[in-house]
Structure 1
Amino acid sequence: MAPDQGNSFLPHLGGGATDFELAGQLCYALLLREGEIPVAQLEAMCRSAMASPEGTLYLANGDGTLELPASAGPWQALLEEARRSGTVATRPDALACPLTFRDMLLGLLAVGGKAEGYSALEHRRFGDLAALLAGALHARQAFNLRQEDLARMEAKVEEQSQILDHIHDSVITMDLSGYIMGWNKGAERLFGYTAAEAVGRHILFLYADDGSETLEEEDDLFYNAFLDHGRREFEVRRRKKSGEVFWASVSLSLSRNEAGEPAGLIGYLVDITNQLEREEKLRLHAKIFEHNSEAVIVTDAMQRVLSVNKAFCDITGFSEAEVRMSLPALLQPTRDDPNLAAEIQVALASSGAWQGELWDRRKNGDTYPVWVSISSVKNTRGILSHYFLVFSDISERKEAERQIYRLAYYDALTGLPNRSLLFSLLEQALIEAQRNQTHGAVLFVDLDRFKTINDSFGHAPADALLKEVARRLQETLRAEDVVARLGGDEFIVALFDITKREHAALVGQKILDALAEPFQIEHHEVLLTASIGIAVFPDDGRDAETLLRNADTAMYRVKQTSGGPLFYSQEMNLRSLERLKLEGALRKAVERQEFRLYYQPQVELATGRIVGAEALIRWHHPEQGMIPPTAFIPLAEETGLIVSIGAWVLDAACRQGRLWREAGYEDLTIAVNLSPRQFRPGLSQLVNETLERHAFPGENLELEITEGMLMHNSEAVIQMLEDFHQAGVRLALDDFGTGYSSLAYLKKFPIDNLKIDRSFVSGIPHDGDDSAIAKAIISMAKNLRLLVIAEGVETEEQLDFLRAAGCDEIQGYLFSPPVPVEDFQLLLERNNG
Structure 2
Amino acid sequence: MADHPVSDFLSHSAAVCDAVLRLRGSAMAEELGRIVRSVTNSPLGEYLPADAVSLLVAPPVEEIVAANDAAVPSLTQDIWFEDRYFGRFTVSGRLGYSDADRQHLASLATLAGSVLQVHSLAQRSTHAYVQVESQLQHQAQILDHIHESVVTMDMNGFILSWNKGAERLFGYTSVEAVGRNILFLYDDEDIDAHDPFLEQGGRLMEVRRKKKSGEVFWASLSLSPLCDLNKRSMGLIAYLTDITERKLAEERIHHLAYYDALTNLPNRTLLTKLVDQALMVAQRGKLQGCVLFIDLNRFKMINDTLGRKVGDELLCEVARRFRTVLRDQDLVARLGGDEFAIGLFDLGQHFEASMIAQKLLATLNSPIMIDGHDLRVGGSIGISVYPQDGDDAETLLRLADIAMYRAKQEGGVNGDHVAFYSQDMNQGMQERMRIETGLRYALGNGELLLHYQPKFSIDNGKIIGAEALVRWRHPQRGLVPPAEFIPLAEATGLVVQVGEWVLEAACAQAKLWKDAGLPPIRLAVNVSAREFTASLPGRVMDTLNRYGLEPSWLELEITESTLMHNIDRVIGIMDRITALGVTLSLDDFGTGYSSLSYLKRFPIDTLKIDRSFTIGIPSDANDCAIANTIISIAQQLKHKVIAEGVETVEQLAFLKNSGCDEVQGYLFSQPLEAAAFELALRENWTPGRASRAA
The answer on 1:593 being equivalent to 2:444 is no
The answer on 1:569 being equivalent to 2:452 is no
Other-structure match for 2:582: 729
Deviation at 1:798, TM superposition (A): 8.1
Q: Where in structure 2 are the equivalents of 1:288-299 lying within 5 Å?
A: 288-298=142-152
Deviation at 1:460, TM superposition (A): 5.2
**Equivalent of residue 339 in structure 1, options 193, 206, 220:** 193
Q: 1:796/1:385 Cα in 2 relative to 1: closer, same or farther (>3 Å)?
A: same
Other-structure match for 2:47: 196
Deviation at 1:441, TM superposition (A): 1.3
Deviation at 1:650, TM superposition (A): 0.8
Deviation at 1:469, TM superposition (A): 3.2
The answer on 1:700 being equivalent to 2:553 is yes
Other-structure match for 2:135: 281
Distance 1:676 1:184 in 2: 121
The answer on 1:630 being equivalent to 2:486 is no
Segments of structure 1 that go 5 or more residues without pairing to the other structure are 1-164, 186-193, 202-240, 243-268
**Equivalent of residue 266 in structure 2, options 417, 427, 444:** 417
Other-structure match for 1:469: 318
Residues 626-682 of structure 1: CA deviation (Å, up to 9, x unaligned): 544332122113334323321221123223434555677745322222234446797
Distance 1:197 1:768 in 2: 144
Distance 1:732 1:519 in 2: 36
**Equivalent of residue 496 in structure 2, options 637, 643, 647:** 643
Deviation at 1:533, TM superposition (A): 1.8
Other-structure match for 2:355: 506
Deviation at 1:431, TM superposition (A): 3.1
Distance 2:653 2:364 in 1: 41
The answer on 1:674 being equivalent to 2:513 is no
The answer on 1:579 being equivalent to 2:579 is no
Q: 1:618/1:559 Cα in 2 relative to 1: closer, same or farther (>3 Å)?
A: farther
Q: 1:688/1:768 Cα in 2 relative to 1: closer, same or farther (>3 Å)?
A: closer
The answer on whether the counterparts of 2:155 and 2:234 sit within 8 Å (CA) in structure 1 is yes
Q: 1:329/1:812 Cα in 2 relative to 1: closer, same or farther (>3 Å)?
A: farther
Distance 2:577 2:21 in 1: 104
Counterpart amino acid of residue 166 in structure 2: F
Q: Any idea what SS the aligned residue of 2:363 has?
A: helix
Q: Where in structure 2 are the equivalents of 1:236-255 lying within 5 Å?
A: none
Counterpart amino acid of residue 340 in structure 1: H
Distance 1:170 1:780 in 2: 128
Counterpart amino acid of residue 291 in structure 1: H
Distance 1:780 1:320 in 2: 92
Q: 1:281/1:728 Cα in 2 relative to 1: closer, same or farther (>3 Å)?
A: farther
Segments of structure 2 that go 5 or more residues without pairing to the other structure are 1-16, 35-44, 53-85, 88-121, 690-694
TM-score where L is the length of structure 1? 0.57
Distance 1:555 1:664 in 2: 54
Q: Any idea what SS the aligned residue of 1:540 has?
A: coil
Distance 2:524 2:568 in 1: 24
Q: Any idea what SS the aligned residue of 1:373 has?
A: strand
Residues 753-803 of structure 1: CA deviation (Å, up to 9, x unaligned): 474774997799859997999599759956xxxx46566587579858975
The answer on whether the counterparts of 1:170 and 1:184 sit within 8 Å (CA) in structure 2 is no
Q: Where in structure 2 are the equivalents of 1:329-408 lying within 5 Å?
A: 331-333=185-187, 337-341=191-195, 344-345=197-198, 347=199, 351=200, 356-374=205-223, 377=226, 388-408=237-257
The answer on 1:819 being equivalent to 2:668 is no
Distance 1:531 1:594 in 2: 34
TM-score where L is the length of structure 2? 0.66
Residues 600-645 of structure 1: CA deviation (Å, up to 9, x unaligned): 627589x887655433334455655654433212211333432332
Q: Any idea what SS the aligned residue of 2:221 has?
A: strand
The answer on whether the counterparts of 2:450 and 2:506 sit within 8 Å (CA) in structure 1 is no
**Equivalent of residue 446 in structure 1, options 288, 295, 299:** 295
Q: Any idea what SS the aligned residue of 1:551 has?
A: helix
Other-structure match for 1:315: 169
Counterpart amino acid of residue 595 in structure 1: L
The answer on whether the counterparts of 1:445 and 1:531 sit within 8 Å (CA) in structure 2 is yes
Deviation at 1:169, TM superposition (A): 6.0
The answer on whether the counterparts of 1:601 and 1:818 sit within 8 Å (CA) in structure 2 is no
Q: 1:378/1:484 Cα in 2 relative to 1: closer, same or farther (>3 Å)?
A: same
Residues 53-84 of structure 1: CA deviation (Å, up to 9, x unaligned): xxxxxxxxxxxxxxxxxxxxxxxxxxxxxxxx
Q: 1:397/1:768 Cα in 2 relative to 1: closer, same or farther (>3 Å)?
A: farther
Distance 1:432 1:451 in 2: 38
CA RMSD of the aligned region, Å? 5.2
Counterpart amino acid of residue 471 in structure 1: R
Q: Any idea what SS the aligned residue of 1:515 has?
A: coil
**Equivalent of residue 434 in structure 1, options 261, 277, 283:** 283
Q: Any idea what SS the aligned residue of 1:421 has?
A: helix
Distance 1:691 1:535 in 2: 51
Q: 1:492/1:183 Cα in 2 relative to 1: closer, same or farther (>3 Å)?
A: farther
The number of residues matched between the two structures is 577
Q: 1:459/1:740 Cα in 2 relative to 1: closer, same or farther (>3 Å)?
A: farther
Counterpart amino acid of residue 576 in structure 1: M
Q: Any idea what SS the aligned residue of 1:444 has?
A: strand
Q: Where in structure 2 are the equivalents of 1:98-247 lying within 5 Å?
A: 171-172=23-24, 196-197=47-48
Q: 1:167/1:523 Cα in 2 relative to 1: closer, same or farther (>3 Å)?
A: farther
Deviation at 1:365, TM superposition (A): 3.0
Q: 1:383/1:494 Cα in 2 relative to 1: closer, same or farther (>3 Å)?
A: closer
The answer on 1:494 being equivalent to 2:343 is yes
Other-structure match for 2:390: 541
The answer on 1:654 being equivalent to 2:499 is no
Distance 2:20 2:558 in 1: 107
Q: Any idea what SS the aligned residue of 2:279 has?
A: helix
Counterpart amino acid of residue 196 in structure 1: Y
Distance 1:307 1:543 in 2: 56
Distance 1:305 1:612 in 2: 95
Distance 1:273 1:444 in 2: 83
Residues 269-318 of structure 1: CA deviation (Å, up to 9, x unaligned): 97876466445533442333223222233557875556644433443345
Q: 1:173/1:639 Cα in 2 relative to 1: closer, same or farther (>3 Å)?
A: same
